[in-house]
Structure 1
Amino acid sequence: MTAAAVGPRTRAFSQVDVFTDEPFLGNPVAVVLDGDGITDRDMARLANWTNLSETTFVVPPSSAEADYGLRIFTPGGEIPFAGHPTLGSAHAWLEAGGVPRSPGRLVQECPLGLIDVRRSGNGLIFRAPDLKRDGPLDSTHLDRIARGLGIGRERIVAHQWVDNGPGWAAVQLATAEEVLALDPDDRHMGDLMLGVVGAHPEDSPVAFEVRAFAMPAGVREDPVTGSLHAGIAQWLIRSGVAPRCYRAGQGSRLRRQGVVTIEAHDTEVWVGGRSSTCVRGTVDV
């Protein structure tokens, strides 16, 4: 006698737009607010179906310090950490009535570890996790990046590993205008998880422009990318290129208007932005 098949369950669901003051101009994340009991296969299937850069599942935490656990999936599979899903999921959890164990401090548990989230004047803000890999890129990797971006290697003015889980490498171009003009060649982007940053003129509303290319995750170009900004901020602040507090833009080439706020306090870098819920309902998983 075989066990009866277990059918889908109706679960609370939100779609949250992150890193924007105006809804529909940031980066959306799909949030399943009750992910307990969903199989890995069904999580991956739903993430592939939503076709967003990330879909998250709120689950019970294993750590007594955490308020909730979070699993994060791209269309290509699960990743250990990501920034805009962290902020969007925290926003949805709080909006659904979640109460942090410690007032003013929310703790998310994900495969990378415990991530602190708190409120700020610009919405929610998370503490950038320590880099798993840093230091300059090697010559072979730089050659691949230049080919993928369709530029001469001499136009890369600085470079660094800024990997806090997803595998990010980053290169700096001379100006934001150069960053926005890039038209990468998919044939050469291959397995690159790549961020590109360039400075805006001093009188601009944002200090830097960032673009993120994540072909291994199934995302040709991500609209706004919190994990990448976290790594880039740690790099640029440490090297003296960026001030300890600044704002960066992302998404213009995708007709978005993402704005990411960076704040450095002592040795910690915090990454934040505004979020708004655009879809509320249920999903059967």
Structure 2
Amino acid sequence: MRSFRQVDVFSAEPLLGNPVAVVHDADGLDDEEMAAFARWTNLSETTFLLTPTDPGADYRLRIWTPTGELPFAGHPTLGSAHAWLEAGGVAAGDPADEGVVQECGAGLVRVRRGEGGRLAFAAPPLVRSGPVDDADLTRICRALRIDRGDVVDAAWVDNGPGWVAVLLRDAAAVLAVRPDDAAFDGLDIGVVGLWEPGESDADVEVRAFVPEMGIGEDPVTGSLNAGVAQWLAGSRLPSSYVAAQGTAMRRRGRVHVTTADDGTIWVGGDTRTTISGTLDL
């Protein structure tokens, strides 16, 4: 029997964030067992906490969607860190830092307690960035069922999962998107639009479409928000801001982005355990 937690991420309110299934003490499970359990939970991500192989890490994390494994993902990182700490995990580093180090497919990721006690991860480096060419932009517009003229800007913001993002004229345009899931052709697309001051408690509305991962739209997405922050923070967005996500799915995710003095972008949010128990795999 192994301990299990399901953690809601990016919302302080029950059932309004993005849940992640976390399996503790997962050493000994093979790839097929992990993949089968991820398919069974049918959440956007299921994670497995293992003994680290890097001496600089506090734990190792493997992240699975219903269709395969990811090298990195944001809400599973925060939810898994929450579960590890709640289960009594103690970081090996400086206690004053109040942080942990996660080992995953993308390397070592720092997680710390930020403003208001929220967990936040340091945005990993982008593996692909820069402008989107005309052919890919045509594919993106087809998948989103929007016109090229609706796109204010576009960029690759990929930190592992494959993200490409488009900026639309405003948040209302983001909420109006009705994608064609059959037309994504392997793309993982983020859509971003700014709120006018006073319209929302957030600065920007974000949506994430990943139909080929078997989940359609992701409720709240840390990795996408990290990539968007590396693209837009300090230019079209403030260096520190709040992103709303999940509105179109009747969720209320809030992603808190902070740019530190050293330029590190921290992506944080509230975390809370909604289910805990044991499982037999």
Partner of 2:137: 142
Are 1:190 and 1:215, in contact at CA under 8 Å, matched by a contact in 2?
no
Give 3-state SS (helix, strand or coil) of 1:162's partner. strand
- Distance in 1 between the 2:126 and 2:256 partners? 19
Partner of 1:84: 75
The partner residue of 1:119 within 100, 106, 113 is 113
Alpha-carbon deviation of 1:184? 0.4
In the alignment, residue 34 of structure 1 is paired with which amino acid?
D
RMSD: 0.8
Partner of 2:6: 15
Q: Deviations over 1:63-94 (max 9, x none)?
A: 10100000000001100000000000000000
Alpha-carbon deviation of 1:128? 0.2
Q: Deviations over 1:7-42 (max 9, x none)?
A: xxx100000000001010000000001110001000
In the alignment, residue 183 of structure 1 is paired with which amino acid?
R
- Distance in 2 between the 1:148 and 1:51 partners? 23
Partner of 2:245: 250
The partner residue of 1:130 within 125, 133, 157 is 125
Q: Deviations over 1:204-259 (max 9, x none)?
A: 21000000011232221000000000000010025x11111100000011110000
- Distance in 2 between the 1:247 and 1:29 partners? 21
Are 1:191 and 1:216, in contact at CA under 8 Å, matched by a contact in 2?
yes
Please tell me whether residue 228 in structure 1 is matched to residue 238 in structure 2: no
Summarize the alignment of residues 9-48 of structure 1 with structure 2, pairs less than 5 Å apart.
10-48=1-39
- Distance in 2 between the 1:218 and 1:232 partners? 23
Structure 2 gap segments, 5+ residues each: none
- Distance in 2 between the 1:186 and 1:167 partners? 17
Based on CA coordinates, which of the two structures has the bigger radius of gyration? 1
Give 3-state SS (helix, strand or coil) of 2:227's partner. helix
* Runs of 4+ with deviation above 4 angstroms: none
- Distance in 2 between the 1:253 and 1:235 partners? 23
Summarize the alignment of residues 64-213 of structure 1 with structure 2, pairs less than 5 Å apart.
64-102=55-93, 103=95, 104-122=98-116, 123-203=118-198, 204-213=200-209
- Distance in 2 between the 1:202 and 1:82 partners? 30
Give 3-state SS (helix, strand or coil) of 1:62's partner. coil
- Distance in 1 between the 2:126 and 2:47 partners? 22
- What's the TM-score once normalised by structure 2's chain length? 0.96
- What's the TM-score once normalised by structure 1's chain length? 0.95
- Distance in 2 between the 1:50 and 1:193 partners? 21
- Distance in 2 between the 1:156 and 1:97 partners? 47
Q: Deviations over 1:148-198 (max 9, x none)?
A: 111111111000000000000000001000000110012212311010000
- Distance in 2 between the 1:200 and 1:194 partners? 20
